[in-house]
Every structure is written in structure tokens, then in C-alpha cells.
Structure 1
Amino acid sequence: MKFVDEFRDQALAMGLAAAIAREAVPARRYSIMEFCGGHTHAIFRYGVHDLMPENVGFVHGPGCPVCVLPIGRIDNALELAEEHGVILCSYGDMLRVPASKRRSLLKAKAEGADVRMVYSVDDALRIARGNPSREVVFFAIGFETTTPPTAVALRTAKAEGLKNFSVFCNHVLTPAALNHLLTAAGLDVDAFIGPSHVSSVIGSRPYEYFTETFHRPVVIAGFEPLDVMQAALMAIRQLNEGRAEVENQYIRVVTRDGNRKARTIVDEVFERREGFEWRGLGAVPDSALRIRDSYAAFDAEKRFSIVTRSAPDAKSCECAEILRGAKKPVDCKLFGKGCTPDSPVGSCMVSSEGACAAYWTYGRFRQEAA
């Protein structure tokens, strides 16, 4: 398959591994954060981690939208489903994330709440059209990648006069999180592998601020194993040469200006929140979106007077530290013991983009945790 098979070629992978080994200066260490959870899973699924020299290490970042959503917002979703009796539509991963007292939307569904898994916001629109006497709320999450479809759905609902449809908006912004990591969180890494799908929307331009201000290279990479390896090589070369630039390995998809049409639609429907709580990062200024007043009739927070209260993570769960890049999943004493995909304690073990799920799914750390 074009743009897949050739990026999983074993001979090319070994050639890239050899090039990285040649160019990684033995006397120094290279710490590279892959911001996106999709990259973390690629690293472990294809064994990229094992092809790196000992002095080149990956640090897992907060680029998992399910993982970074704070417990208080999931409590709000439970409140919508259980107390307001809405049809709550959500992506599958969100159903299993533990909220306060380890309750989840899946448990609420088992107890009678009308919670439905959807594959897209269009599914939620169809449910609203088919149930005109019921309130239907779409639990919107995600970075810049999933924001445009939500914006289109809100435009559609407004055009159709779909009065029983609303959105509980939890869309968050990548550059704000990156800025917070480098300032308030005090992250100490040498370079970043930038997210691919997010960058296809926002482009490579927003990362130029970070290379200029913090002198950290950013290399945008695709999700295939050779994408990640080539990006690591590009970052190492920059560091060796004393450069800090935005480089785009994912040129088959990402441009400097991204998808202008998608950004225009998002700007029409959403505006920035002054602050938003992230699991692991705390309150991050200008890091999330809310629905503009012109679409207030479709804003679930206003329609149902939602008030979010902070709630602590489960005791002994290290998900917050993992999302900050301060710890790895195996540093958590619950990993593989009290916390597994069948019985997750933290969101990092639930999501298909979570770091703990990556460590567990591909098996290499199971024996160590047993």
C-alpha cells in the first residue's frame, strides 16, 4: 500500500538505525520527546526503541486527548448522562476512562444511562435527528485534528435548526501545551517530534516560536516507524550542528500553513478559553476552545449549566507524571498490577494513544510488571 509498506521496510529501517548510530555522538545524550501518543505506539509496536543507540532516548509527551482530560470534565459527562438524562454520545476510549470513585461512562451505561459510542460527530447528529424528543449531547474531545469536524457539525445543527443537539466541548490546543511544558512544567528535553495529524491542520508555522524562543529543534513526523526514525535522525543532526529549526519530515501531508479552510471553520465556531485544566499539566492558559456566543444554543455547558470541579487522580497513579514526561509507565507501581487495560486506574492505560497502553499492548514490559 502506497505510503505504508515503504515506511515499514526492514532494510531501510536498519539503514536508518545505522545512520543514527553513526551520527549520535557517544559523549552526549539525546533526549527526544514525541509529543503525540500515536508516535509512542509506533515506537513500541515496531521496536523503534530497540533500534536506537543507548544514548538516544524517547520521552513520552501529553499528546493523548483522552489521557489529558481531567477527571472533573468526565464527572461532568457522567452528570449529563445520569442526572439530565440526555443521550450522551462519545468516542469509545472515553467510555472506559475512570472518573471520581473509579466510575466511568461504561459503568453508567451498564446501570441504565443512555450512553452511546460513536465513530464520528456525524453519528451524534444522526442520533439527534432520529430522537427529536430527546436531548443529545456530543462529548467532544481532541486536539486540532478532531476540532474541524465538531465545528462542521455545529454549523450543520444551526442550519437545520436541530434544537435537541448540543456539544460538550473539550477541544484542546497543542502549541499551548508545548509552551507550558517548556515553561511552567520545566521540561528538560533536547528536541521534539511534532505531531502529524495535528500539523496537517495547523501547519508547521506555529512551532517556529518554540525553536526561536527555546532553541529546541522540532521535527514533524508521520506515524510509520521509518517516519519516526528519520525524524530522530533529523533532530540529532540539528543538535550536533547547534541548530534549532522546524523541519517537516511529513512533507507528503503537512505544509507550513496547514489546512486553511479547516482553520477558518474552527475560528467561526470556536474561541479560546482563558484557561483549561489538563491532567498532568494543571491549569494551562489559552489551551482550549469554547463555543462562541453565536452558537450558544448548541453549547451543552450553557444549556445544562455545567460547573466543573477539580478532582484528584487515583491514589498512587502516576499518569500525571507520565504525561509531563517526568516518568515512564514502568515507574508507576500500579502498572501491570493494579492497573491493566482490563481494569484501568488511570487514563494512560485506557486510550489507544496512552503511553501505559503502548507499554502493555506490545508486551515488552509485561513480564517486568508481573
Structure 2
Amino acid sequence: MQELHDAPLAPLTTFRLGGPATRLITAGTDAEVIDAVRAADDTGTPLLVIGGGSNLVIGDKGFEGTALRIATRGFELDGTRLELAAGEVWTDAVARTVAAGLAGIECLAGIPGSAGATPIQNVGAYGQEVSATITDVVAYDRATRATVTLTNEECAFSYRHSRFKAEPERYVVLRVRFQLEDADGLSAPVKYAETARVLGVEPGDRVPLARARETVLALRAGKGMVLDPEDHDTWSAGSFFTNPILTEEQFAAFHACVREHLGEGTEPPAYPAGEGHTKTSAAWLIDKAGFTKGYGSGPVRISTKHTLALTNRGEATTADLLALAREVVAGVHDTFGITLVNEPVTVGVSLDD
């Protein structure tokens, strides 16, 4: 277990933003993770758990307490069952399952971050979510001071949400278990319309696993969503805002705003999101509110490839990031009456400040 003091945290995030931590511990085993968490809890020291840092916005003042970087490793396949240590690099794990001929997470290729973060956010993209394949999650419960195993149902998954996100101070994920599918080298049924179109198939069809993964990687790269140190469009947290889910009443009011601002013939994106609810596109809202690709003149700008990503152009601060995020939120609300919600976890700062 490695320990550093007054340690920079910006290099541990994909935004490359944020001040230092009073202390940074890097844990390579589950036992070291638990020991570090217990030590912080025993002394009342604030604790920040860091995985791949791809969904994290840290304030410029940094973090007064212990930052715990989880660097555990473990990839175990037993037939179609997969167990990943929390510190495993997610993109590498997806590649290995595809190479093994197993379907279920191939469309989650290219998503930066660690395996342990995937259940917290219920990570999803291109028609797949980890909640569809996770069987259970092993975590350290800070309330009971014990290691627990939570079933899929107990994880309380929903759109970009889970029990872990609802109780952020309680659980530290140690291991994630998945049930994958052996479909004779084929992918899971393709669900996402854009993916199906590029693949030249109909939604519900299956394609070779490697082809599905490569197609998703190409789609993500075209939107600046695959990490590249030389490409500032990837110095981000991916999608900065979640897609709004609206009640029937909220969607009717939104539809009226669309007609008022964009004309009677304009129809906003609308997708079923459970009984009485409709999901619309945050990217569409941002673009139609006037925040187009490349918007901004300062050190933080909207990606030149995708309106959902706010990007660090190289010399930014977290304050710069929050300023643009607030401008976008205000502009979308003024235009359409919808308040966007940030997807990344904020530490020491808030869009509401």
C-alpha cells in the first residue's frame, strides 16, 4: 500500500482538474482497501474513493482528507460467469470478454474508468447497461463494518443510478460479478438504433462480437469518447449531463416550449422511460439552446465532436468547468424549462453553488 501526502489528484481524473489531497493511499488488494477505509472511519477522516477518475469533478481546493485509489486487479472467468476486481480497467475487461466469445457487455467498449465504478452509475451506452448482466456486487459496508454481497435486486439499479449512488458514504465496491452469454461468437441482440444502422442490421439482430465492439469504439471515438492524451476533446468526463426523464405533464410543457422556440413542425427526441414517463436527449436540448459543438472561448469548451461533453483544453480549472456547466444549465432551462443534472460526481463543489 502506497501513501503520499499533499498529493495531486488532477492526474488521476480524465478531466485533469482538481487540487491535491491531504493524503493519497493506493491500495492493491481488497484487504488494503478495507484497512484504509476502516482507518479513515476510526479517526473521522473524510474519505474520497477513486477508481479510474472518469466520472469525477474535484474542486480546485482539493480534498482535505484521505483519497483512496483502488488499484486492485482480478479477472476470473468460470464458463459464462465473470468476476472483476474493482480496480480492473473496464475497457480491458470488455476486450477480454469479447476475445473469450462472451456477449453482454461488448457495447460498453471504450468507456473509461474502473470495473468497480460501473454498478455505482449503472454504466450504459449503445443499448446496454451493466445492470442487465450484473448478478451481484461484493462491497465493504461502512455502516456494519463488514464485507457484504448485494444481489442485482438489492443494488436497486435504475437509469444511471443505484443503491451505491443513493448511499455514497456507505459502500465501497470491491468486486463485481456478471452473467454473460455464449452465443457462438455473436453479440447480444443489438438494441441501439444508431449501432444497428452503422452495422447494417435491424434492431434485435446479432452480429459477430468483435464487429460489435469495433463499431462501438469507432462511434465513441467519433464523439471524442475514447481517451486519447493528444485529443483535448477526450479531456472530459464523457457525457456531463444525464438525459432528462419527464412525466406526461412535464413533457407536454416541454413540447409547448419546443414549438414556441423552434416552430410548430419540430418534434423533440422522445423515448419510452417506463409508465407515464418519457426520456428526451440532453445533447439535443443543449444544441437547440444554442450551445453547439465547440462552444466557448475559454479554457473549458463544449467538445468539437459531441455537445454532451465539456472539455479541458489544457489550462483549465474546475471553476472554469463549473462556469460553463452553469451557463449551459441556465440556457437550457430558459429555453425549454428543463433543468439538466450533471452525471459526474462532484467533490468539494456543486453546480448549485
User: TM-score, length-normalised on structure 1?
Assistant: 0.27
User: TM-score, length-normalised on structure 2?
Assistant: 0.28
The structure whose residues are more often helix, as a share, is 1
The structure whose residues are more often strand, as a share, is 2
